[in-house]
Structure 1
Amino acid sequence: MARFLPPSLMLCAALLSGACGDGAPPGSDPAKPAPFKATQVPSSQGLAQAQGFADQSGGGIFATPTGGAVRLRLDGTKAALSAHPQNKATLGSVSATFRLGPHSALVETDSGLFLADKGWLIEPLWQEVLGTGIIATAQTADGAAWLAHPTGLYQMQGGTLASLKLSGQPLTGITTMTAAPAEDGLPGLWFARDGKLNVVVASAPGVYQVRGSDAPLSGGETLVSLAGLSAGTGTAGEVWLLTSTRVLRRNTEGWSTVDLPSRPQQLLGAGRFLWARAGEQLYTYDADAKVWGVAEGLPSGTPTLLAVDEAGSAWVDVNGQALSVSKGAVPRVTGLHQGMLVVEDGLALQATLPPGTAPKSVAFQVDAEPEFAATGPVYSLGGLEADESTLKPYSLATLAPGAHTLAVVSRFEDGTEARRAVSFKYQPLTSTPGFARDIRPIHEARCAKCHTTSPGRPLNTYDLWKSNAQLITAAVRDLRMPADGPLDPQGIALIQRWAASGALP
Structure 2
Amino acid sequence: MARFIPSSLLLCAALLVAACGEDAPPGSDPAKPAAFTATQVPSSQGLAPARGFADQSGGGIFATTTGGVVRLRLDGSKAALSPHPKNVATLGSVLATFRLGPHSALVETDTGLFLANQGWLIEPLWQQVLGTGIVATAQTADGAAWLAHPTGLFQIQGGTLASLKLSGQALSGITTMTAAPAEDGLPGLWFARQGKINVVVASAPGVYQVRGTDAPLTGGETVEALAGLGAGTGTAGEVWVLTSTRVLRRNAEGWTTVELPSRPQQLMAAGRFLWARSDTKLFVFDADAGTWGVAEGLPSGTPTLLAVDESGCAWVELNGQSLAVSKGAVPRVQGLHQGMLLVDDGLVLRATLPPGSTPKSVAFQVDQSEEVPAAGPDYSMGGLEADATTLKAFSFASVPPGSHTLSVVSRFEDGTEARRAVPFTYQPLTTTPSYARDIRPIHEARCAKCHTDSTNPGRPLNTYELWKANAQLINAAVRDVRMPADGPLDPQGTALINRWVSSGTLP
Pairwise TM-score range, normalised by the shorter structure: over 0.9
Q: Distance in 2 between matches of 1:405 and 1:238?
A: 18
Shift of 1:7: 2.2
Is residue 2:31 matched to residue 1:31?
A: yes
| Aligned ranges 1:24-103 → 2 under 5 Å | 24-103=24-103
Q: Deviations over 1:358-382 (max 9, x none)?
A: 1111111110001111110000000
Letter in 2 for 1:492: T
Show the counterpart of 1:305. 305
Kindly provide the amino acid, as one letter, of the partner of residue 245 in structure 1. Answer: T
* 1:328-339 mapped onto 2 (5 Å cutoff): 328-339=328-339
1:246 corresponds to: 246
State the match for 1:125 in structure 2. Answer: 125
CA contact (8 A) 1:20 1:196 kept: no
Alpha-carbon distance in 2 for matches of 1:385, 1:429: 26
Counterpart of 2:368, as a letter, is: A
Deviation track 1:30-88 (CA, whole Å, cap 9, x = no partner) reads 11000000000001100000000000011100000110000000000111111000000
For residue 16 of structure 2, give the secondary structure of its aligned residue in structure 1.
coil
Query: CA offset at residue 387 of structure 1?
Result: 1.2
Shift, 1:24, TM fit: 2.0
Letter in 2 for 1:392: K
Correspondence 1:10 to 2:18: no
Secondary structure at the residue paired with 1:128? Answer: helix
Letter of the aligned partner of 1:244 in structure 2? S
- Asked if the contact 1:404/1:424 (under 8 Å) is kept, the reply is yes
Structure 1 pair 378–422 and aligned structure 2 pair: CA distance change class (3 A) = same
Q: Is the 8 A contact 1:334 1:352 kept in 2?
A: yes
User: Gapped runs of 5+ residues in structure 1?
Assistant: none
What TM-score, normalized to structure 2?
0.98
SS in 2 for 1:256: strand
Q: Are the equivalent residues in 2 in contact too, given 1:20–1:197 (CA < 8 A)?
A: no
Give the aligned partner of residue 356 of structure 2.
356
Shift of 1:158: 0.1
Q: Which digits, 9 at most, give the CA deviation of each residue in 1:104-128, with x for residues without a partner?
A: 0000000000000111100000001
Separation in 1, partners of 2:20, 2:178: 17
**For 2:476, which of 454, 474, 477 is the aligned residue?**
474
**Aligned partners of 1:412 and 1:381: how far apart in 2?**
19
CA drift at 1:389:
1.2
Partner of 1:465: 467
- The within-5 A match list for 1:253-292 is 253-292=253-292
Bigger shift: residues 212-221 or 139-148: 212-221
SS at match of 1:436: helix
What residue is the counterpart of 2:410 in the other structure? 410
**Aligned-residue offset at 1:20:** 3.3
* Partners of 2:22 and 2:218 within 8 A in 1: no
Distance in 2, Cα, partners of 1:273 & 1:82: 31
Residues in 2 aligned to 1:179 and 1:494: alpha-carbon distance in whole angstroms: 26
Q: 1:272 to 1:23 in 2, by over 3 A?
A: farther
Q: Which runs of 5+ in 2 are unaligned?
A: none
Tell me by how many angstroms 1:21 deviates: 3.8
Show the counterpart of 2:498. Answer: 496
Cα distance, 1:496 vs structure 2:
1.2
Which residue of 1 is the match for residue 421 of structure 2?
Answer: 421
- Give the deviation of 1:19 after TM superposition: 4.2
Q: Which amino acid aligns with 2:467?
A: W
Amino acid across the alignment from 1:224:
E
Letter in 1 for 2:121: L
Q: Contact 1:364–1:374 at 8 Å: present in 2 too?
A: yes
Aligned residue runs from structure 1 range 371-390, under 5 A: 371-390=371-390
Which string of whole-angstrom CA distances, capped at 9 and with x for unpartnered residues, describes residues 270-302 of structure 1?
Answer: 000000000110000000011100000000000
Tell me if the contact between 1:53 and 1:97 (Cα under 8 Å) persists in the aligned partners. Answer: yes
Asked if 1 retains the 8 angstrom alpha-carbon contact of 2:433 and 2:500, the reply is yes
The answer on whether the counterparts of 1:23 and 1:215 sit within 8 Å (CA) in structure 2 is no
Identity of aligned residues (%): 80
Quote the Cα distance in structure 2 between the aligned partners of 1:204 and 1:445.
22
Alignment size in residue pairs: 504
Given the alignment of the two structures, is residue 167 of structure 1 paired with residue 161 of structure 2, yes or no?
A: no
Q: The residue matched to 2:9 in structure 1 has which SS?
A: coil
Matched-pair contact (CA < 8 Å) for 2:333–2:350 = yes
Distance 2:169 2:341 in 1: 35
The amino acid that maps onto 2:29 is D
Alignment match, 2:109: 109
Give the deviation of 1:23 after TM superposition: 6.3
**For residues 209 and 323 of structure 2, what CA distance do their matches in structure 1 show?**
41
What amino acid is the match of 2:90? T
**1:262: how far off?**
0.5
Which aligned pairs between 1:218-229 and structure 2 lie closer than 5 A?
Answer: 218-229=218-229
**CA apart distance, 1:339:** 0.3
RMSD: 0.8
Contact 2:8–2:161 (8 Å) recurs in 1: no
